[in-house]
Amino acid sequence: MEYICRICNQPRPESAFTEKSHSLHTCKKCNVLPNQRTEERDQLDEIFKIFMQTRISHKDTVRLKTLCTSKYPKVVIHATLVFEVSELRPYKKGRFAFLEQKYPELAKRIEDAGFFYPQYIKANSN
């Protein structure tokens, strides 16, 4: 089983993660200390945190819109993705099954960005 790291975007084996980095969807190599993080990394982490909330609030969508104009291309991609998700399904519960069924193209982009893990997807389809 391989998992996509949302920072380096590489599929990596289970052994490339620690328990903590796994929950953050980052491989060990990318799971650097907070004081070593760049502005780009801080913004990427902020987007992921919004995505993992039970519900994406209006305030969060305003913030996502701002991040959609970030100077970092990867931040723009992630912010746009999560913004699209927030418009369709602000609630986390049942989100992936919903997206996979109604918006498969968006679900695929979310998966490729390392926001959903394959085993999660598998457990939730059918």
Report the interface residues with Zn ion, using CB under 5 A: 5, 7-8, 27, 30
Taking the complex as a whole, the smallest distance from the CB of residue 65 to Zn ion amounts, in Å, to 27
Taking the complex as a whole, the smallest distance from the CB of residue 102 to Zn ion amounts, in Å, to 30
Q: How far apart are CA 22 and CA 89, in angstroms?
A: 24
How distant, in Å, are the alpha carbons of 28, 57, 96 from that of 105? 29, 24, 12
Taking the complex as a whole, the smallest distance from the CB of residue 52 to Zn ion amounts, in Å, to 17
Taking the complex as a whole, the smallest distance from the CB of residue 74 to Zn ion amounts, in Å, to 12
> Cβ closer to Zn ion: 31 or 61?
31
> Cβ closer to Zn ion: 36 or 126?
36
> Cβ closer to Zn ion: 4 or 82?
4
Burial of 7 (0-12, 13-18, 19+ CB in 10 A): buried
**What tokens does 51 get?**
């995505």
> Cβ closer to Zn ion: 42 or 87?
42
Q: How far apart are CA 79 and CA 74, in angstroms?
A: 8
